[in-house]
Structure 1
Amino acid sequence: MQSLQSLHTFALPAKCQKLVRITAPEQLHSIDFTNPFFILGEGSNCVFLNDFNGTVIQMENRGIDITELDGHYLVRVAAGESWHSLVIKLLDMGIAGLENLALIPGTVGAAPVQNIGAYGVELADVFSHLSGYNLDKQSFDTMDKSACQFGYRDSVFKGALYGRFVITEVVLKLPKQWQPMLDYGPLRDLASTEVSAKQVAERVIQIRRSKLPDPKQCANAGSFFKNPVVGLGQVNSLRAHYPEMPIYPVNEHKVKLAAGWLIEQAGLKGHRIGGIRVYEKQALVLVNDQQGNGEELLAMIAYIQKSVFAKFAVELSPEVRLIGRDGELSKGVEHG
């Protein structure tokens, strides 16, 4: 058995039957995918609730290749690269477009699965195509944006291709004519100034550090729940009772609510179940005080969901992926 405690940032005491580190995509040909397996990057958006009865495959391939074209850059990145390190590297080279996504933890290969996003920008906005290993064909395939079926924190890799495709490389398309995206909350005050991409990144990093604890100091998996999307009728009813409720329009029929605000208004900041607690500075974050376990975390998730639904009639789903003994938990506790 191999310990997983140091390989996921929530740091529950779990183990796996076997750990395989992938430094070259060709190694995937030799893995027996008929047994239970889980693809792991930096472990920042998954939690191992129990010992895992299978193989954990950690993507550690590296490499960044940049092609300059007339109107944009094509940035080809190996799945094992750190996302935040990529953002900073490109900014240092004068290539903008990822600054709103600075300090998002995890690997580049994990980014399309979740369609990571922050401060008004999603991976889908800068995505060209990706490559990976198709388990059914036992061969490498390339997929464009439409094939990836990106949605809010969602993609085909969490649906039809869940457990059937291992991303090995991501290609981004970043336009040379940069336009800052400053429409989202704390970035709006920058719109009145002459701002650089690096300055936007610095503000994003500052905001994220003020809200989210460093997992090296305080074990956590970042934002734990998705921001729920509800219909206009429901949000109008809610705002009649809670006029200060923050909302973010999605389209003419749907609005996104702030999950952290809902949890805080339910009075759950600092709430503790065993070794798991709701972070005092940001209710969207759950913290493991080193002595927590999977049962306590599941109890906390259920308690938060029940409390928020009782107060607002809004259902919360975890954004963090929850891994049980035989694999990722199904929609019973949403894996996000």
Structure 2
Amino acid sequence: MSEIQKPQWLKENIDLKSLNTMGLSVSARFFAEVHSLEELQAALQWARLQQVAVFPLGGGSNVVLAGDYDGLVILIRIIGRQVLKVNEESNQILVKTGAGENWHQLVRWTLQQNAYGLENLSLIPGCVGAAPIQNIGAYGVEIKDVFHSLEGLDIQTGQIVVMGAEECSFGYRDSVFKGECLDRFIITSVTFALSREFQPCLGYGHLQKEVLKAAGTDAVTGRLVSDTICRIREEKLPDPEMVGNAGSFFKNPVINEQLYQELSSREPDLVAYPAGEGLWKLAAGWLIDRCGFRGLAQDNGAGVYEHQALVLVNRGGASGRDILELAENIKQAVLERFQVELEMEPRTY
């Protein structure tokens, strides 16, 4: 690549350690930080002309960087939050936000606008653009429950696309962007359908007990639910600023009735929840804990968080390959003991 072809905004050989919550030190051959649709289109056009692969990066909270990236890493920093429309009859409020917005800050902002529906998703790390890809969820709420539409760019053509919920094919921690549309689009904005009327969703685990305890004699509010969930998450999960991690590392597996009966007969305290007719969802953290991995600290820095076995950590110096090797060991142990196959949540690059 000649100097004439190199745009001013393009950087080379950039260490991504500070841009992924696992704290993994890998290098991007090319790097661009974009703050607008136009800048993103320019970066994609350059990548097409140079015939290099593209890796969009937001908060870096759901990726495991296994090695140096021989392509263009595009850091998405497209921000902006606005109320698009309020339906007085249905109390629905449409909120549009840029893909580069911090997720938790968006949740707090919607509460300030008296727009409800995201409070159960408080303190989830990362940026807005990743939320539909992963169909993030917590405490009984998923993105699909409050999703309206999204805008993005086709990586190959640079064309703008608009997609609704049906086109996104949401599933449990899944969407079309992890399947047939993998590596095809970069999300630039997301619009949520929220409500002016606060209706608390407290049916998950011990959340209702914790919220009512915090409320005392006062009314339950969206802010109170958000604050309570923040406190619970801070007690259970490590701060990425202190301990490198990518949050929940494995999906909670879903099994059939027959396997559930077999496991529950020999594991009386098996943690499981109904997941539809003839299906049960198991707590992956419980399975991993039972295999003896909770609190593991390997010499290479890879380990398992002592307060939540679902979280793999980088205690310092671990490589992406170290983390993935530990993940494979955990998957094998769970499979051998419970005949259950775990699936990773983070994506590997």
TM over 0.5: yes
Q: 38, 43, 64: which one pairs with 1:26?
A: 38
Tell me, what secondary structure is at the counterpart of 2:348? strand
- 1:47-196 to structure 2, matched below 5 A, reads 47-66=64-83, 67-70=85-88, 71-189=91-209, 190=211, 194-196=219-221
Correspondence for 1:333: none
Q: Assess if the C-alpha contact under 8 Å between 1:225 and 1:316 holds in 2.
A: yes
Shift of 1:186: 2.0
What CA deviation, in whole Å up to 9, does each residue of 1:43-71 have, x standing for no partner? 01112111111111111011011032222
1:202 aligns with 2:227: yes
Shift of 1:137: 4.0
Shift of 1:293: 1.3
Shift of 1:191: 6.4
What CA deviation, in whole Å up to 9, does each residue of 1:161-211 have, x standing for no partner? 111111001000012232111110021324697411111111111110001
Correspondence for 2:347: 321
Q: Which amino acid aligns with 1:15?
A: S
Q: 13, 18, 23: which one pairs with 1:6?
A: 18
Shift of 1:231: 1.0
Task: Compare CA radii of gyration and give the structure with the larger one.
Answer: 2
Tell me, what secondary structure is at the counterpart of 2:343? coil
Cα distance in 1 for partners of 2:22, 2:237 equals 13
Q: Assess if the C-alpha contact under 8 Å between 2:245 and 2:311 holds in 1.
A: yes
1:294 aligns with 2:320: yes
Cα distance in 1 for partners of 2:157, 2:25 equals 35
Correspondence for 1:308: 334
Correspondence for 1:224: 249
- The count of corresponding residues between Structure 1 and Structure 2 is 323
Cα distance in 2 for partners of 1:89, 1:25 equals 23
Cα distance in 1 for partners of 2:95, 2:112 equals 14
Shift of 1:89: 1.0
Q: Name which structure has the greater RCO, CA cutoff 8 Å, separation 6+.
A: 1
Q: Assess if the C-alpha contact under 8 Å between 1:269 and 1:279 holds in 2.
A: yes
Tell me, what secondary structure is at the counterpart of 1:185? coil
Aligned CA-pair RMSD: 1.4
- 1:234-253 to structure 2, matched below 5 A, reads 234-253=259-278
Q: Which amino acid aligns with 1:195?
A: V
Percent of aligned pairs sharing the same letter: 42
Q: 27, 30, 35: which one pairs with 1:15?
A: 27
Q: Assess if the C-alpha contact under 8 Å between 1:270 and 1:280 holds in 2.
A: yes
What CA deviation, in whole Å up to 9, does each residue of 1:245-285 have, x standing for no partner? 11122211221111110000111112233210111111111
Cα distance in 2 for partners of 1:230, 1:212 equals 26
Shift of 1:136: 4.1
Unaligned residue ranges in structure 2 (runs of 5+) = 1-12
Q: Assess if the C-alpha contact under 8 Å between 2:114 and 2:196 holds in 1.
A: no
Cα distance in 1 for partners of 2:156, 2:326 equals 37
What CA deviation, in whole Å up to 9, does each residue of 1:97-134 have, x standing for no partner? 11100000111111000000000000000000011112
Q: In terms of mean alpha carbon deviation, does 258-267 or 184-193 score higher?
A: 184-193
Q: Which amino acid aligns with 1:88?
A: R
Q: Assess if the C-alpha contact under 8 Å between 1:63 and 1:78 holds in 2.
A: yes
TM (norm. structure 2) is: 0.89
What CA deviation, in whole Å up to 9, does each residue of 1:16-35 have, x standing for no partner? 10111110012232222442
Flag as ranges the 4+ runs of structure 1 deviating above 6 A: none
Tell me, what secondary structure is at the counterpart of 1:201? helix
Correspondence for 1:46: 63
TM (norm. structure 1) is: 0.93
Q: Assess if the C-alpha contact under 8 Å between 1:21 and 1:57 holds in 2.
A: yes
Unaligned residue ranges in structure 1 (runs of 5+) = 324-336
Correspondence for 1:284: 310
Q: Assess if the C-alpha contact under 8 Å between 2:92 and 2:193 holds in 1.
A: yes
Shift of 1:232: 1.6
Cα distance in 2 for partners of 1:64, 1:271 equals 41
Cα distance in 1 for partners of 2:155, 2:24 equals 29
Q: Assess if the C-alpha contact under 8 Å between 1:182 and 1:191 holds in 2.
A: no
Tell me, what secondary structure is at the counterpart of 2:56? strand
Cα distance in 2 for partners of 1:55, 1:41 equals 14
